[in-house]
Structure 1
């Protein structure tokens, strides 16, 4: 029997994958006829999104506003003249009415169009309006690749101000037509309630849309879900998600500022729950429900994962939050459970994946920077949130980085680049062993971006342990802090890999898409 269906589509390239995405595959036209009801017609208030696109695979996401059955049409044609229809999971209150569909065996180097529609579970004859999205699949051969990264959305009191144009940087990013986007964390600010009005220093008034879930800190599962839903209320975010698949990470504000698993809060804003372990469990569930992220069958709660994007690029999205020890003085001289940051299991995974990678470029997408000092207690500067702990020989959490960097050097793993966010300004760093206290590593670059739509801060102090040299930085002047998005200091990074030369060009950009700094990296080729 031919693999080609009567619609001209390769059946094997459209197979629903995983339990969360299992469903019925049908040829276009066999699905129940599209009909409209009135009273029970499900809506799709937050649009659609795609993510975790890797060789042959992708995850599709959407949500209804009522109990409904998810159906997805998939095609390589924008007009869907040839397509197949997949039955996805039900959207129920138990998942915040969200639903995800994993698709596998996609053809390489193609633009895939998908159309999501919901069929009411209360009135089987009633259908919602279809919503269309698209994404590019990774190439099978060396080809041009463009992707973006940044972090920090709706933080420090700056929410959706429709009079200003909403979260405008998402529209700026959409216009660059990237193949995918890495959100490096702080995808929401569950600990950052919004006020309806904020008076700026110049006397102007910033006006936020405020929902019940954004009027207080998130404690319940529904409140965490509501934080993710809030960002999707923005038209710029929805338009971006329609066209750009994402790789999403998390950091602290998905739960609460600077959290670690064993923490118990002493914060009067949290009236119902002080256990960070319980808060982060609810946050993690909402994170998986409200994003197009694929779960690991072996470890469903794991956020770190790898993406193969053709012969020129592998992306390793890591998690510096879930496995860390308590934030403290960070000054231990020997490795122990108290110095965990990545955690031993993740470090082993990252080593194995880097060693196995045949891609020209190995990009480590990190939710926190390496050599920039981030204090847990900014008043006393005695406890640390990040691995950097001040000048000198490696101590505390830096010991895990020593292990990783030494492994990369010993195994001659070439062309490793770090991309990160977190600190709310943009910068380019070169880590030079000749200027470092610890020198047993190969030099590498780290590029920092953000915020996307949050307060701007910086610059941070640098730690000389691994010899970071600041090549460029853009941040508020004169000690100003928490500048609003309207100040213009919102940032994202753009990476262009040339399919012929294999060079990687990294450009740091601002709110309106102006290029602030560009660095072109030439790949090293092993003999």
Structure 2
């Protein structure tokens, strides 16, 4: 989401010398070969197995290495992915770890006291991957709760709780999930995550902007620390691999975020700020050479994988990372997780809110890229799920800014790619998808939309539902009715709910209906706020359209 005041176009300050040298080299090759060259020059030569780092004795670690907690993700019927990262001093470059590999033990049990251990094993934390650990545990029971932990030397991690997915043919009676997005550290506390951790959920879907590239000052921005000061290297925009790694260390040190990860498996996808505001494919926000931006993107993607509970197929190669993927929860729900940043056409008319026209309406424009679009539509044709859910990043429904003929649309959202949206809706109709639910983040507010066959005709058929999760912290405290509430609700009759507080979205799926609860907190600039339900809606299976509860 574009902030009210963008940072300066500065990009060169803070670049490592080798990054600048590689960028100059790439500029001679040209943008068509930049992707492969960036991968070869920047990162493929610095992976485990090529650097041959020595092994360090974990027993010599003298400080708690599990400061960033534990996480699990992408649950399958017989498998979970477990994550941690060794970081005794997460606010320092290198996180206080030696430039050596370290052996880490892990355990998975039926109970939190580990009296009934199911699996145990050993993994290696490589310095080339910032001592992150990704363990894929196979051979587990379907739709089962498990507990897990790690050990490095004499140090034992916090205990995490995770859950596998149901068998492909199973018909679970209920699936409870949450959706979250947009957690600017400098805008406030992650209080909503503390409440989310206490929910009874099968999974959490994070819809992007897990971190922000913007500078964080010594007092933590709106957190206004008086008892400590952050190091000066956080007070600059992230550009290098070290910058991004340090920023994840800052964010993941938040106790509420750690609690949420420990309580539930996460399914993550990114938006723009994990790399740079409003970038589009290989096109940066500001005026820097595209080949230099690809080096920055490679750094951001690598740090993202290192710090998220993602499986091996998602591990990036240079500036490329296959993040879109599909998860199934029996016959109840299919989740098609999209990436609407890496493959999109550049925003029309210079981005921002603009009057639509021939440029934005060009049928060749794409939000997903042709390969991901085909993958999505093919997956729908094969789906046997009651609910087809699409976790993705930016607002899908039409969203006019004023109820007059001179309206504008956001060129960064699907409104800037109407032909791409049309192909997706046509593909859903052709596949016979009756219960389409789009989960969205990005905009720092909660929305509930009816998706229409023709957004310009309020009487047209409702073909699905879009539920937009507000931000965890971005935008600071917000308001129940933002300043544009009247204009937006009048301009978009398919908009059924609009709230500007912080929080998260809770969704319950059954064979008969989907229920959405918009959970909000009154403040994030001070810690400890309570959570309430601002509104609840249901949409019935076979009868799309939101009804208030």
Give the TM-score range, shorter chain: 0.7 to 0.9
Q: Which runs of 5+ in 2 are unaligned?
A: 1-46, 49-56, 88-96, 350-355, 402-406, 522-529, 545-549
Q: 1:229 to 1:430 in 2, by over 3 A?
A: same
Q: Distance in 2 between matches of 1:357 and 1:470?
A: 28
Inter-CA distance 236–374: structure 2 relative to 1 (3 Å threshold):
farther
Whole-angstrom distance in 2 between the partners of 1:36 and 1:348? 47
Q: Give matches, 1:52-71, under 5 Å.
A: 52-65=74-87, 66=97, 67-71=101-105
Q: Assess, with a 3 A threshold, how the Cα gap between structure 1 residues 198 and 45 changes in structure 2: closer, same or farther.
A: closer
172-181 or 289-298: bigger deviation: 289-298
| 1:80 counterpart SS class | coil
RMSD over aligned CA atoms reads 3.4
Is residue 187–residue 221 contact of structure 2 (8 Å, CA) maintained in 1?
no
Name which of 516, 533, 539 aligns with 1:515: 533
Deviation string 1:4-55 (CA, Å, 9 cap, x unpaired) is xxxxxxxxxxxxxxxx99xxxxxxxxxxxxx994665762121110011132
CA contact (8 A) 1:273 1:279 kept: no
> How far 1:450 moved relative to its partner?
1.7
Once the two structures are TM-superposed, the CA of residue 295 in structure 1 deviates from its matched residue by 3.5
- Structure 2 counterpart of 1:344: 370
8 Å CA contact 1:405, 1:442 repeated in 2:
no
Distance in 2 between the 1:85 and 1:37 partners? Answer: 23
2:432 to 395, 412, 418: 412
Q: Would the aligned equivalents of 1:325 and 1:340 in 2 still touch at CA under 8 Å?
A: yes
CA deviations 1:407-438 (Å, max 9, x no partner) are 21122112011111101111111123365359
Q: Could you tell me which residue of structure 2 aligns to residue 97 of structure 1?
A: 131
- Secondary structure (helix, strand or coil) at the match of 1:351 reads helix
Partner SS, residue 324 of structure 1: coil
Count of matched residue positions in the alignment of Structure 1 and Structure 2: 444
Per the TM alignment, residue 504 of structure 1 is displaced from its structure 2 partner at its CA by 1.3
Q: Give 1:310's aligned residue.
A: 330
Which residue of the partner structure matches residue 362 of structure 1? 388
Judging changes above 3 Å, is the alpha-carbon distance between structure 1 residues 515 and 262 closer, same or farther for their aligned structure 2 residues? same
SS of residue in 2 equivalent to 1:237: helix
Shift of 1:216: 0.9
Contact 1:388–1:463 (CA under 8 A) maintained in structure 2: no
**Match of residue 506, structure 1, among 496, 516, 538:** 516
Most deviating of 212-221 and 324-333: 324-333
Taking a change above 3 Å as real, the CA distance of residues 205 and 214 of structure 1, as seen in their structure-2 partners, is: closer
Inter-CA distance 45–81: structure 2 relative to 1 (3 Å threshold): same
Q: Distance in 1 between matches of 2:233 and 2:268?
A: 22
The alignment status of 1:49 with 2:59, answered yes or no, reads no
- Partner residue of 2:414? 387
Describe the SS at the equivalent of 1:404. Answer: helix
Partner of 2:7: none
- Which residue number in structure 2 is paired with residue 136 of structure 1? 163
Alignment of 1:125-204 (within 5 A): 126-139=153-166, 140-154=170-184, 157-158=186-187, 166-190=189-213, 192-197=214-219
Match of 2:494 in 1: 469
Match of 1:292 in 2: 309
Question: What SS class does the counterpart of residue 106 from structure 1 fall into?
Answer: coil
C-alpha distance in 2, partners of 1:464/1:343? 33
CA contact (8 A) 2:514 2:538 kept: yes
Q: Deviations over 1:51-108 (max 9, x none)?
A: 1113222211001133421211112233222324543432122111111111223211
Cα distance in 2 for residues equivalent to 1:438 and 1:280: 41
Deviation at 1:141, TM superposition (A): 3.4
Name the SS of the counterpart of 1:281 in structure 2.
helix
1:240 aligned to which of 250, 255, 260: 260
Select the residue among 413, 422, 425 that pairs with 1:402.
422
User: Is the CA contact 1:48–1:241 (under 8 Å) kept in the aligned structure 2?
Assistant: yes
1:279: which partner in 2? 296
| 2:241 aligned with 1:221 | yes
The answer on whether the counterparts of 1:306 and 1:314 sit within 8 Å (CA) in structure 2 is yes
Structure 1 Cα separation of the partners of residues 362 and 459 of structure 2: 18
Q: Corresponding residue for 1:80?
A: 114
SS at match of 1:59: strand
CA distance in 1, matches of 2:220, 2:282: 35
With normalisation by structure 2, the TM-score equals: 0.73
